[in-house]
Amino acid sequence: MKDLIRDITNRHMALTESLDSALAPFAKIRVKEAEAPPRAEELVRPLLAWLQQGLLPHLVIEDDLLRPYAGPSDVGDDAIFNRVFTEHDQLRKLANEARQEINLLLQESSIREAWWDTMELSAVWALRREWASHIDFEHRRVLPRAAALTRLPNQS
Ligand SMILES: [Fe+2]
Ligand SMILES: [Fe+2]
């Protein structure tokens, strides 16, 4: 379990790094440090790849790993682990909304200008905030509790 927790923590760091790298051009446009491109295909590709190949498989791995710890009573440990699944569902929903937003950006040139201007409210940034809050919860509450429940002598 200890190795697994280290793997998950490292994976969170790598995923956060690749997400921020994918979002860097969006952030520059958002603060007007860069012009919005006339076509957005290149710009959105790393973010779409992150959603599909980074986020979604990670959620499945964690769901499988933590499901044995979740229970029906929504109190104590059950509440901690059940909250993970609720947050995973929320991340999937935001990922879906972010993909729809990106598709609109790619397909509807008429809304493109307005879309760039309202990025503060978009699902893309909501997903970034939810991701940060979720991995913080996992590091503070979920992973230590899962480790303690395994009762291994060398657990930290
Ligand atoms: Fe998670
Ligand atoms: Fe995670």
Q: What is the pTM of this model?
A: 0.87
Give the number of the ligand closest to the Cα of residue 8: 2
- Which structural domain range is residue 109 located in? 2-64+79-148
Q: How far is the CA of 116 from the centre of ligand 2 (A)?
A: 29
Using an 8 Å Cβ cutoff, are 147 and 1 in contact? Answer: yes
Q: Would the pLDDT of 21 be above 90? A: yes
Tokens linked to 11: 């994976």
Q: Would the pLDDT of 91 be above 90? A: yes
User: Band of the pLDDT at 33, cuts 50, 70, 90?
Assistant: confident
As for how many domains the chain has, the answer is 1
Using an 8 Å Cβ cutoff, are 66 and 145 in contact? Answer: no
Give the number of the ligand closest to the Cα of residue 63: 1
Q: How far is the CA of 102 from the centre of ligand 1 (A)?
A: 23
CATH code, domain with 92: 1.20.120.330
Question: Does a structural domain hold residue 103?
Answer: yes
